[in-house]
Amino acid sequence: MSKTANRLQSLRDSSLSRRNFVIGSGAAAVGGATLLAACGDDDEAAPAATTTAAPATTAAPTTTAAAETGVGTTTLGSNYSDEKPRNALAAAVAATGVDTIINTIDHNTYQENFNTYIQQPDDVVAWFAGYRMRAFASKGVVGDISDVWDNLPGMSDGFRSAASGLDGKQYFVPLYFYPWAVHYRKSVFADNGYSIPTTWDEFKGLCDTMAADGITPLCAANDGRWPQMGMFDMLNMRINGYDFHVSLMGGRENWEDARVQNIFSTWEEILPYYQPDPNGRTWQDAANALGDKSAGMYLIGTFLTSNFDGDTQADIIDDIDFFLFPEVDPAYGQDAIEAPIDGFMMAADPANEEGAKALLAGLGSVAAIDAYLSVDPSVVAANSNADTSGYNALQKKSAEAVGSAKFISQFLDRDTDPDFAANVAGVGIADFLATPGNIGTILADIEAKKQTYTFE
């Protein structure tokens, strides 16, 4: 125990000095950038809660029982490395009242190295819901936190199932989500008299009208080979339904099946409306086409607005709205939506299990997500009791869209074996976009490579 305490003390010292440095430099930077000044404030707020040994000084009455029981210091591994999410998470952790040291690692390295990281993890680790969580749960490297779920008011059954392993136990506490939908500019639709399409034919009709008006109908990016996975998911769920999508992602369906071929033949109908050569375009470049109104619609996550500067491009952000992906087969309507959920897991053998569980319960609480959203309002709370009064129009719409959806998918690279997603399905989709005529060979190739994956 004393060893752990020593370790924690040394970590605390090092993180303290780092924070002081950030505060100092933040204060020095106040000059012009209000953003920097704001984060300086948040950083000052964070250590107050994370470093006080006596919880009595934490003036947060809404926190969980953890604060009173004195569960000691715990550690949290975080991939919230961008400035805003980083400060938002610090605020959320402060709101839990649990004495926590946050270990921030840049999100990309964190995700790529998670296999090695989880062998010497912090007590609580940031991760994703769905298959990507289950893969680690079934290997026994993360801990069962079903007892935390006994006391998580405001979490719907949908989130509970997204947080459950194949054994039915819970391994994950959701924090927030962000839906994928078709984004557009309100002013462009108003000026040209466009109306929101709800069916596939209306959607294609609108694309035709836009093309005639000299607007590229659809923004299209696929650099990194993930953006177009969203289109694949939506088409599959609209054409073949959510159950088939889950089954296909689970490796239980044949990729040469007529139903899969149907996805791509439907997709081919709208390829002429795409920006040319999507494989080489980053999602930001495609977003800029929506920004200068040279393109009309964009299927992407609601993080789209983060591409635009909150100060100088606020007019663009305020002008962005979205609608649900149109119905293709009336049998499924618009019943499914894609909304990746981010949250936290517990290490299999945490140094401070009591503290870890208190922190997880705290992070699932209303107080934590309210604190998070007050700093980073680009996401939507998982907890249904969260304060939605501060939501902007897009957040309100996101919450409604997900709340009314019958099925919620995570995203292709979170719903199946991540390696299969990146190196087989992602490559196949990119090949299809480059040469749609080859789809027969591409699907045969995916099916052949699929055999080398177990999908657990």
**Interface with other proteins (CB under 8 A), residue from 131, 189, 298, 308:** 308
**Interface with other proteins (CB under 8 A), residue from 76, 88, 92, 105:** 105
Residue 23 CB, nearest approach to other proteins (Å): 10
Q: Which is nearer to other proteins, 283 or 432 (CB)?
A: 283
Residue 16 CB, nearest approach to other proteins (Å): 11
How far is 342 from 126, CA to CA, in rounded Å? Answer: 8
Residue 83 CB, nearest approach to other proteins (Å): 6
Q: Which is nearer to other proteins, 274 or 283 (CB)?
A: 283
For residues 34 to 73, the per-residue mask of contacts with other proteins, x marking binding by CB under 8 A and - elsewhere, is --x-------------------------------------
User: Residue 175: left (phi > 0), alpha (psi -120 to 50), or beta?
Assistant: alpha
Looking only at residues 106 through 165 of this chain, which bind other proteins when binding is defined by CB under 8 A? 106-109, 113, 116-117, 119-122
How far is 167 from 138, CA to CA, in rounded Å? Answer: 8
Sign of CA dihedral 98, 103, 108, 110: negative
Query: Can residue 404 be called a binding residue for other proteins (CB under 8 A)?
Result: no
- Residue 261 carries which side chain, given as an amino acid letter? Q
SS3 73: coil
Q: Which is nearer to other proteins, 57 or 312 (CB)?
A: 312
Query: Can residue 85 be called a binding residue for other proteins (CB under 8 A)?
Result: yes
Query: Can residue 271 be called a binding residue for other proteins (CB under 8 A)?
Result: no
How far is 180 from 23, CA to CA, in rounded Å? Answer: 36
**Interface with other proteins (CB under 8 A), residue from 13, 82, 208, 419:** 82
Residue 323 CB, nearest approach to other proteins (Å): 21
Segment contacting other proteins (CB under 8 A): 44-52, 221-229, 303-311, 325-333? 303-311
CB atoms within 10 A of CB 9: 11
SS3 452: coil
Q: Which is nearer to other proteins, 187 or 284 (CB)?
A: 284
How far is 105 from 128, CA to CA, in rounded Å? Answer: 16
Torsions phi, psi for 250 (to 5 deg) = -80, 5
**Interface with other proteins (CB under 8 A), residue from 7, 160, 169, 259:** 7
Q: Reduce the secondary structure of 80-127 to three states and give it as a string.
A: CCCHHHHHHHHHHHHHHCCCEEEEECCHHHHHHCHHHHCCCCCCEEEE
Query: Can residue 312 be called a binding residue for other proteins (CB under 8 A)?
Result: yes
List all residues 6 or more positions away from 184 whose beta carbon is below 8 Å from its beta carbon. 290, 296, 297, 298, 320, 321, 322, 323
Query: Can residue 349 be called a binding residue for other proteins (CB under 8 A)?
Result: no
Q: Residue 105 is encoded by which pair of tokens?
A: 């690692």
Q: Report the interface residues with other proteins, using CB under 8 A.
A: 3, 6-7, 10-11, 14-15, 18, 21-22, 25-26, 29, 32-33, 36, 77, 81-83, 85, 103-109, 113, 116-117, 119-122, 283-284, 288, 303, 306-309, 312-313
